[in-house]
């Protein structure tokens, strides 16, 4: 079980008695003060839970969102996970349940920084042709990203997208093509970091200004 969950439990208790300024600071870190007795979590298990197990979990204070299941990827990620609402009073049950492999908090806040990240690794110089023989932005390059959870309709992604579901076959001839998944946004995040066009953030003035583009905004996905 991730130690951050216990830290959040303590912070919530402290914040409820603290000044509003402190509460705002805690909430800006992604910690939900409107749920003082529970934590939003990712519940990793060794196999999909049965309806009976989900009911039992609920009786113990662990609400499992069964329609929000992310399967394991053979050879890469051995455990799948559910999103769940976990009451702090149920943590001993979590610790003692052999089917639960890991519990992670999802109460985190993050900010896009691709506008400044490119400069840190000097990708902007490559795109602008500064110090290199030829300016390059990824145009004409096909990039493959193995991940889960991607918004195929996102305006920052190229069209069309070549896609495969690598969990239901052995190779490109047997993989499916339905990769729609709104449970996690990790694939969207990674793809955006690699080749996001920056379309939706044109005119951005936050975090130093500039669009949140990927390193190779001209590449295909």
User: Of all helices (H) and strands (E), which one includes residue 81?
Assistant: strand 80-87
Whole-angstrom distance, CA of residue 33 vs CA of residue 9: 10
**What confidence score (pLDDT) does residue 182 get?**
66
* Pair of tokens at residue 108: 């985190």
What pLDDT is stored for residue 87 in this prediction?
98
pLDDT at 170: 86
Burial letters 83-97, b for 16+ CB under 10 A, else e: bbbbbbebbebbeeb
Element at 62 (helix H, strand E): strand 62-70
Of 64, 75, 67, 149, nearest to 99 (Cα)? 64
Number of helices and strands in the chain (H, E): 7, 4
- Give all domains of the chain, ordered by start, each with its CATH number: 3-105 (no CATH), 113-221 (3.40.50.200)
- C-alpha 164: how far from its chain's center? 19
Contact between 93 and 60 under an 8 Å Cβ cutoff? The reply is yes
Per-run averaged pLDDT (10 residues), the chain, 221 residues: 94 94 92 96 95 97 93 87 97 96 93 77 91 94 93 94 88 87 83 94 79 93 97
Helices 3-15 and 20-28 pack at an angle, to 10 degrees, of: 160
Token pair 């932005």 is found at 137
Q: Are 97 and 188 in contact (CB under 8 A)?
A: no
| Helix (H) / strand (E) containing 43 | strand 38-45
Q: Report yes or no: 187 and 98 within 8 Å, Cβ to Cβ.
A: no
């Amino acid at each position: 079980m991730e130690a951050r969950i216990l830290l959040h439990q303590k912070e919530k208790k402290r914040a409820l008695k603290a000044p509003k300024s402190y509460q705002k600071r805690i909430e800006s870190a992604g910690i939900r003060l409107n749920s003082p007795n529970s934590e939003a979590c990712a519940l990793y298990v060794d196999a999909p839970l049965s309806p009976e197990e989900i009911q039992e979990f609920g009786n113990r204070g662990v609400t499992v969102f069964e329609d929000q299941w992310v399967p394991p990827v053979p050879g890469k990620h051995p455990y799948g996970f559910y999103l769940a609402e976990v009451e702090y009073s149920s943590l001993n049950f979590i610790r003692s349940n052999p089917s639960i492999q890991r519990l992670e908090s999802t109460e985190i806040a993050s900010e896009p920084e691709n506008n400044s990240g490119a400069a840190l690794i000097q990708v902007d110089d490559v795109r602008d042709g500064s110090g290199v023989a030829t300016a390059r932005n990824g145009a004409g390059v096909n990039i493959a990203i193995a991940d889960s959870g991607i918004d195929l309709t996102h305006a920052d992604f190229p069209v069309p997208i070549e896609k495969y579901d690598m969990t239901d076959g052995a190779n490109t001839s047997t993989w499916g093509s339905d990769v729609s998944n709104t449970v996690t946004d990790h694939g969207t995040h990674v793809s955006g970091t690699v080749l996001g066009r920056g379309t939706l953030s044109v005119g951005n003035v936050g975090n130093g200004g500039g669009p949140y583009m990927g390193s190779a905004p001209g590449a295909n996905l």
